[in-house]
Amino acid sequence: MTLERKTRLTLMALKLLDVSANAAPREESFSLFFSQQELQKLLSGKELVAPVIKKKASLYLGALFYQSPHEWTLWMNDNRITPEQTPSFICIQNITPHTVTLTWIHEGHSHKITLKPNQSYDPVTQETREGKL
């Protein structure tokens, strides 16, 4: 593209935007991509996107390290759980080298669950699934 062509296109764009090289800046903002209302929200710092939807709760057993019925460590939802440090909303019923059976109190409901490592429990569907939900 020649310099003359670039200059002509630039001048046409400036004319289209109702701006000249000597003009003072406009008080209201202009955008080719957003409506005036959207632009005002952007400039005022308000978000235009929908609010983040809270991820539904699930229980995920990442790992189970078993030494004995009284000596073990679980990694649930990326938190370490031991016989000495068990959250109040979880009650360990039984633990073996390969599974843990527990009662989970969630949103006023009691869920009796048996999980193996790398399994998740979905309280909405009341299903146990492989992997992290």
pLDDT tens profile 30-58: 667 777 777 677 666 655 444 444 456 89
> What is the spatial distance between Cα 125 and Cα 57, in angstroms, rounded to a whole number?
12
**Looking at per-residue confidence, does 8 or 132 come out higher?**
132
Answer whether residue 125 shows pLDDT above 80. yes
Backbone angles phi, psi at 5, to 5 degrees: -65, -45
Closest CA to 81 of 69, 68, 93, 72: 72
The residue type of 110 is S
> What is the spatial distance between Cα 130 and Cα 116, in angstroms, rounded to a whole number?
9
> Whole-model pTM above 0.85?
no
Query: Which residues touch 70 (CB under 8 Å, ≥6 apart)?
Result: 83
Domain regions of the chain by residue span: 3-44, 59-130
Q: Which pLDDT score is estimated for 79?
A: 92
pLDDT tens profile 110-123: 999 999 999 999 99
Q: What is the DSSP letter of 38?
A: H
